[in-house]
Amino acid sequence: MIELIFATNNDNKVREIRQALPEGFSIISLQEAGIFKDIPEPHATLEANATEKSTVIYELTRKNCFSEDSGLETVVLDGAPGVRSARFADGEPQYASNTNKLLTLLNGKENRKARFRTVISLIIKGKEELFEGICEGTIAPEPMGTGGFGYDPVFIPDGSNKTFGQMTLEEKQEFSHRKKAVKKLVVYLKSLADR
């Protein structure tokens, strides 16, 4: 069994990644590891934030761990909200206000193309590896569905006519950026186990 600490306090992400991992791998959330720490995301790229989060937890525990940073990137807003996805609207980070701000900025725009991007930073035996997952899609004119989290109710992945918010977790996993990044992580971990 390969055990990794997942450096996040987001239960939705823990649920999604747990569901995406095959047998032989287990993840421990920060809470389960007894770490009650809010890890900052101060950098300008998903990669740098992911590295920061896994490094903070590795330095604290010296155990194998990984983190992920994700964002929604739109074409017409030059990649925004991107790395600022969690804090796009002013005030306390809230999914509904972030989504409303996005819909307001896209109002009347013809190009509603967007993509979710996840970067995973794994630190194993003290060495870092990065893995990326991308899901292309479009932003719906209004929120649809109540499933998932964040921008899920307004994101329609290419190849579907439903938003992530209208999907079950199993359906979302067929398209998910996070799942794609996790698949790469698993291939890498398996290659280490085979060595």
52 binds ligand IMP (CB under 6 A): no
Contact 100, 150 (CB under 8 A): no
CA distance 159 to 69: 24
Contact 68, 18 (CB under 8 A): no
Of 4-23, binders to ligand IMP (CB under 6 A) are 10
According to CB under 6 A, which one of 65, 71, 138, 181 is a site residue for ligand IMP?
71
Segment contacting ligand IMP (CB under 6 A): 107-115, 124-132, 150-158, 180-188?
Answer: 150-158
In angstroms, the CA 131 to CA 110 distance is 32
Q: Which residue type occupies 107?
A: N
90 is annotated as an active-site residue: no
Distance in angstroms (rounded) separating the CA atoms of residues 50 and 46: 6
Token pair of 169 as six digits: 């977790």
Closest to ligand IMP by CB, 2 vs 33, is: 33
41 belongs to the binding site for ligand IMP (CB under 6 A): yes
Range in contact with ligand IMP (rule: CB under 6 A) among 31-39, 106-114, 143-151, 186-194: 143-151
Question: Which of 24-32, 106-114, 146-154, 185-193 is the region at the interface with ligand IMP (rule: CB under 6 A)?
Answer: 146-154
Segment (H or E) for 117? strand 113-124
Residue nearest to ligand IMP (CB): 150
Nearer to ligand IMP by C-beta: 143 or 150? 150
Q: State the nearest-atom distance from the C-beta of 27 to ligand IMP, in Å.
A: 16
Tokens linked to 140:
């719906």
Q: Are strands 113-124 and 127-139 parallel, antiparallel or unpaired?
A: antiparallel
Distance from C-alpha of 72 to C-alpha of 156, rounded to nearest angstrom: 12
- Which is catalytic among the residues 11, 38, 69, 90? 69
Instruction: Residue 125: count other Cβ atoms within 10 Å of its Cβ.
Output: 6
Report the residue from 124, 139, 152, 182 that binds ligand IMP according to the rule CB under 6 A.
152
- Positions annotated as catalytic residues are 69
Per CB under 6 A, residues contacting ligand IMP are 10, 41, 69-72, 85-86, 95, 98, 116, 148-152, 164, 178
